[in-house]
A = this chain, B = another copy of it.
Amino acid sequence: MKNLEQIHRVKRGGHLSDHSWEKVSEILDAHFVGYLSSEREGIPVVLPTAYGRIGKKIYIHGAIKNGMINGILEKGIASMTVSILDGLVLARSAYHHSLNYRSVVVTGKVEVISDPEEKVIALKAISDQMLKGRWEEVREPSENELKATFILAFEAEYFVSKSRAGMPSDEKEDYELPIWAGVLPISESYQHAITDEGVESPIPKSVQHMELKNCR
């Protein structure tokens, strides 16, 4: 019997970790791309993928059984990592340079979603995660499109977050050095939308709401 709890034991920097679902879900909701891994030739290979969530259920999708999805199905358990970079931590010493970030690892048993109604719910969750309100503005999937889409879900049965924020922690004696130290904040920012050729409709609410977000 696998001890999946072990996966989520933070071995280093335990003070930076938080096992509460509140914290984990907050970080999950701050992004929409996660990283999963599956074995190819015995080597775990990582691929990014869009996700959505409803409660503790995480949905990912792909074209009918791509390599990644096959590998995850074989294991029967998925582990996904989401990590948001918040800044460079620039210390007085090279050694104490670090990053500010928020990250989670969520793991649980995998399930294939084949019911067409739940498939639509899952796809809407993934769409909402990426851009809230977009689903209602566009053409919904046809029957054939649904058939061509493979959806996998897993419950976040085990989870942990790890985050760092704030200034560098230098060695006591280094604080005397005449070296600049601080944080260089980084955030994913949204620029002006670019309209496709031939489109006459105005930029919709969902997109307007995000334009220039995080740019200050």
Contacts and interface: CB of A to CB of B under 8 A. Distances in A.
B186 A43 contact: no
Contact of A99 (B33, B97, B183, B200): B33
A40 B207 contact: no
Copies in the complex: 2
Given A134-B90, A182-B195, A196-B168, A127 B47 contact: no
A185 B194 contact: yes
B177 A189 contact: no
Majority-rule SS of A interface residues: mixed
A14 to B, nearest CB: 12
A55 interface: no
A81 interface: yes
A185 B179 contact: no
Contact of A37 (B37, B124, B174): B37
A77 interface: yes
Contact of A179 (B35, B107, B138): B138
Contacts of A145: 93, 95
Given A41-B2, A138-B179, A180-B207, A81 B46 contact: yes
B186 A190 contact: yes
A183 B130 CA distance: 13
Interface of A: 2-4, 6-7, 11-12, 33, 35-48, 50, 63, 66-67, 75, 77, 79-81, 83, 85, 88, 90-95, 97, 99, 101, 103, 105, 107, 123-124, 127, 130-131, 134-135, 137-142, 145, 149, 167-168, 174-175, 177-204, 207, 210-211, 214-216
Report, nearest first, the 4 A-B pairs whose CB atoms are least far apart: A44-B44, A37-B37, A37-B44, A46-B81
